[in-house]
Amino acid sequence: MNRIERLRERMEQKGLDAVLVTSLTSIRYFSSFTSDDATLVITMKKACLLTDFRYTIQAKEQSGDCFNIVEVGRGQYIGTITDILESEGCMCVGFEDDTVSFANYERFKAMEKELVPFSSEMNRLRIVKTAAEIESMQAAQAIADKAYIELLNTIHSGMTEKRVAAELLYICGKLGSEGPSFDPIVGSGPNGAMCHAVPSDRQLQQGDMVVLDFGCIKNGYCSDMTRTFAVGEVDDFTKKIYNIVLEAQLRALDALKAGIMGAELDAIARDYISQNGYGNCFGHSLGHGFGLQIHESPYASVSSMDRLDDGMTITVEPGIYIEGKLGVRIEDCCVVTEDGKLNLVTSSKELLTIN
């Protein structure tokens, strides 16, 4: 109910009579309902969860007493929503403009209400995490840390990137992950220069660096980490690149605390990499928030206007990518605190080697 009351405060500030909640993330945040077929209609007095017969029992169990569960049939959503809005005298209605489909927007327009984009306001409600949310993300990351160590003891040269990804997903699930935060990134050798490399049939080879980026989910909340490891012995140039990325990340982590601007944090890592001659090889932002979604506000980038405050989440993930040769990225997912950060990742940053 606290989340709904906070939403109503935002509604009142914006002069809204009601809000239509349609994205899966927002539906889960406000109602705890996890189905992929639902709409929330929240007015200043009512909170209704609309779903069909398949999910009504689940909706009652997950949402508790916070919502009136309304069973609707196929093609009845708009009519039911209209009836609720009319009964409450609602004329000005907020909607999730970032995620609503064009087809649904056209259906909403047919209700002849004033539609007000409201995604940014709803997203701001999620930006500062509660203790329970942080606990869930810690649990997700604890699974990922354990999975990483087990994976390194499982994989070997000659194994394909696809096999590495498959082994990783199996291990994470076995250890209790509800699913991957995103499709794992496995980039070996020159494939590591692709920031979001899709696992391929390329086999891990002696002398490779392997970029491994993945996350786990617990209670719906995501974790995110990247480690880069070696297959066999690597040359001095490769070790140099690794150490530059590592130092850039450590400097940013040391500076991370409540009050720092996202652009300022990004610059700390980016400037160090540039000073060492590889600024043009670090083309993505330093980090992003995470929670029910793997990418959410705030952001740490060159253009970010976000201030990082107590209770917000942020990843710190500098990298260097050299086309045709290798990639190196090191990423921790953190919770910002008043005097620093809570780093959820415990995996070693020492350059580890498999055979």
- Is the predicted pLDDT of residue 42 greater than 80, yes or no? yes
Q: What is the pLDDT of residue 75?
A: 81
Q: Which residue carries 């649990």 as its tokens? A: 139
Mean pLDDT of the chain: 97
Residues 236, 88: one domain?
Answer: no
Residues 277, 194: one domain?
Answer: yes
What residues make up the domain containing 211? 131-354
Residues 163, 294: one domain?
Answer: yes
Residues 81, 173: one domain?
Answer: no
Kindly report, residue by residue over 208-260, the tens digit of the pLDDT.
999 999 999 999 999 999 999 999 999 999 999 999 999 999 999 999 999 99
Residues 155, 97: one domain?
Answer: no
Residues 186, 296: one domain?
Answer: yes
CA angle, residues 217, 220, 225, in degrees to nearest 5: 30
Residues 7, 98: one domain?
Answer: yes
Residues 42, 166: one domain?
Answer: no
CA distances from 275 to 130, 272, 282 (A): 38, 5, 12
- Is the predicted pLDDT of residue 132 greater than 80, yes or no? yes
Local confidence band at 263 (pLDDT 50, 70, 90 cut-offs): very high
Q: What is the pLDDT of residue 354?
A: 97
- Is the predicted pLDDT of residue 1 greater than 80, yes or no? no
Residues 74, 173: one domain?
Answer: no
Q: What is the pLDDT of residue 36?
A: 86
Where a domain ends, among 69, 103, 125? Answer: 125
One-letter amino acid at 155 equals I
| For the chain, counts of helices (H) and of strands (E) | 10, 19
Q: What's the total number of domains in the chain? A: 2
Where a domain ends, among 68, 90, 125? Answer: 125
One-letter amino acid at 69 equals I
Give the mean pLDDT of 16-21.
Answer: 98
Residues 184, 277: one domain?
Answer: yes
Best CA proximity match to 275, nearest among 317, 318, 315, 316: 318
Local confidence band at 279 (pLDDT 50, 70, 90 cut-offs): very high
Kindly report, residue by residue over 307-344, the tens digit of the pLDDT.
999 999 999 999 999 999 999 999 999 999 999 999 99
CATH number of the domain enclosing 15: 3.40.350.10
Where a domain ends, among 93, 125, 157? Answer: 125
Local confidence band at 64 (pLDDT 50, 70, 90 cut-offs): confident
Residues 147, 263: one domain?
Answer: yes
Local confidence band at 107 (pLDDT 50, 70, 90 cut-offs): very high
Kindly report, residue by residue over 154-200, the tens digit of the pLDDT.
999 999 999 999 999 999 999 999 999 999 999 999 999 999 999 99
- Is the predicted pLDDT of residue 98 greater than 90, yes or no? yes
Residue 303 φ/ψ region, left for φ over 0, alpha for ψ in the -120 to 50 degree band, beta for the rest: alpha
CA-CA distance, 228 to 327, in Å (whole number)?
Answer: 8
Best CA proximity match to 136, nearest among 24, 249, 291: 291
- Is the predicted pLDDT of residue 74 greater than 90, yes or no? no
End-to-end CA distance of the chain: 53
Residues 267, 149: one domain?
Answer: yes
CATH number of the domain enclosing 281: 3.90.230.10
Q: How far is CA 262 from the centre of its chain?
A: 17
Strands 18-21 and 217-218: unpaired
